[in-house]
Structure 1
Amino acid sequence: MDAAVKSDDQLADRRQIRDLLENWVVWRDAGDWERFRQVWHPDGRMMATWFQGSGDEFIRVSQEGWARGVSILHFLGGISIEVSGSRAISQTKMTISQRGDVEGVTCDVVCTGRFYDFLEKRNNRWGIVLRQPIYEKDRIDPVSPAAKLELDAALLARFPEGYRHLAYMQTRIGYTVKPDMPGLKGEEVEQLYRRGAAWLRGARL
């Protein structure tokens, strides 16, 4: 293939992937569920602190949470994309912001990290095969500056540093939180990087 044509194809792939990643956040946070479904392949899976399962199941539980007033929003930063033929790995800087009641106080939790995505092009369409967030650091703040918040130190210490306040809130509102998600450092994230490299080489997930 001519180098210029190959370069144009790679640029087109990267644009499509970037659009997909940005649409994920906008459509999910807006509750635009039918368009949100388009970013996944049928076998796509979502890993999160409070949910692990298929893309379709993630949409269902997100709708249920939406109906109950669960407030989880996302904001994106820089995006790094590696493309190898019909496969890609992307890393996207992001924040997760959740509002809820913690020990009787309305609070906001903000967690900073990355979305680490396994993507594949099938029938000329890119889609997510696996989304695994990486949780780097978080904090919790009462919405009212006058409010006093006291946390259960033992519960807080059960969770990794990168998402312990997010996990605390989610536990308090009734979710079962996965305790071994990847963070900025450690074996979990190193294993994820190895899986990503293998994916680009053609390995199965």
Structure 2
Amino acid sequence: MMNADQAEIRQLVENWALWRDAGDWDRFATTWHPDGWMSATWFQGPAADFIAASRRGFENGVSILHFLGGHTSDVAEDRAIAQTKMTINQRAEVDDVQVDVVCTGRFYDFLSRDDNEWTIVRRQPIYEKDRLDVVDPAASLELDPELLARFPDGYRHLGYVQTKAGFTVKPGLPDLVGEAVDRLYREGAAWLAGSERPGVPA
């Protein structure tokens, strides 16, 4: 059973997804710590810059949506680590063919409570697996195997689609297993134990 802190953290994570995808930028900003940091396939930087970049994309028709599933959090006084199952859904055109790419993974969040409010200090998605489908079943699409091979299994198709859309996609982000995700877990444990920083963001 969730305690009050865990319930507030779950609400915070749900607000993040709903307000971001709805373009409710003022309320979206309240989910972030003033020193918040976002790492994603297409963006790594301060939360304020992520909000601005997300808003520009939203206003220019970039379609990236999030759906949330199971959630857990570990709370140590005024710090917490939350993990939330999620999917990232992006619709885009690849070589003039409209596609949907769906990536399944987890949001791994470093949180702090300041002035009795929980906010996200650092968010690092963990990319577990993805797939790509053409929207029109009658359409066909041939993928470039060399470009596809640039990215790990966890976000191979998402990285492909985002690169084709003009984004610079970062390699080596955490997926289901491996050194990147193991390092993230160590950083999370250190955060709960009182480390000065929430790890070293990608």
| TM-score, structure 2 normalization | 0.96
The correspondence for 2:133, drawn from 133, 141, 152, is 141
Shift of 1:42: 0.5
Are 1:24 and 2:23 matched, yes or no? no
Count how many residue pairs are aligned between Structure 1 and Structure 2.
Answer: 197
Q: CA deviation at 1:204?
A: 1.9
Asked whether the equivalents of residues 103 and 150 of structure 1 are also in contact (C-alpha less than 8 Å), the reply is no
Cα distance in structure 2, aligned partners of 1:157 and 1:104: 21
Letter in 1 for 2:137: P
* Structure 1 segment 1-205 matched on structure 2, within 5 A: 11-205=3-197
2 CA distance for matches of 1:113 and 1:16? 22
Deviation string 1:26-80 (CA, Å, 9 cap, x unpaired) is 0000000000000001000100000001111011000111111100000000001
Which structure has the larger Rg over C-alpha atoms? 1
- Hey, what's the Cα distance between the residues in 1 that align with 2:150 and 2:7? 40
Query: Alignment partner of 1:25: what SS?
Result: helix
Match of 2:200 in 1: none
Which protein is richer in helix relative to its size?
Answer: 1
What amino acid is aligned across from residue 12 of structure 2 in structure 1? Answer: L
Alignment root-mean-square deviation, CA: 1.0
Moved over 2 A (4+): none
SS at match of 2:161: helix
Q: 1:103, 1:151 within 8 Å by CA — same for their partners in 2? A: no
Q: SS state of the match for residue 66, structure 1?
A: helix
Q: CA deviation at 1:104?
A: 1.4
Tell me how far 1:166 sits from its aligned partner.
Answer: 0.3
Q: Counterpart of 2:104 in 1: which secondary structure?
A: strand
Separation in structure 1 between the aligned mates of residue 45 and residue 141 of structure 2, nearest angstrom? 33
1:122 partner letter: D
Shift of 1:15: 1.1
State the one-letter code of the partner of 2:124.
Answer: Q
| Superposed displacement of residue 12, structure 1 | 1.3
Tell me if structure 2 keeps the 8 A contact 1:107–1:142.
yes
Counterpart code for 1:153: P
Q: TM-score, normalised by structure 1?
A: 0.95
